[in-house]
Amino acid sequence: MYKDTYAPYSKWFGTAFNKLNIYESIKTKINAALQANDLTERENNLVEAQALVADLHNASGLTDKVDYSIESYFGRDIKVIFADKFVDATVEKLKGTVFENIPLIGTMSQFGGLSDFADEQGYYEQIKRIYGVQQ
């Protein structure tokens, strides 16, 4: 959305994502997360990528600047930037426009599951590595 490029289908998120004219550091962090050897490394890279996207949002001028920081999720051992702040800022910006009363739909992952991925035996070793499962 920030670069007026939209995903026509799910496979777009791979190769075509790398062609987007965005901060190279976002791509670097996402690729590092995908190649991480443990959950902590993966989480650190993902949340740092989220922070960089937050910076991209703030630089876009779509809303007033949104303050954020990487912090624990309500005292749990999970790092987040509380992205709902960006949703709130966007909803506020849309007040008084034709978009004000359009319902929020959440993320595209709400419309599909990962069962195909989880059911494919070829991915089992990768899934185990992601979650730190020892043999």
Average pLDDT along the chain, 135 residues, taken 10 residues at a time: 66 72 90 95 96 94 96 95 94 91 61 52 67 57
Closest CA to 30 of 59, 56, 50: 50
pLDDT at 21: 82
Domain ranges of the chain: 10-130
pLDDT at 44: 97
**Torsion angle, alpha carbons of 118, 120, 123, 128, to 10:** 40
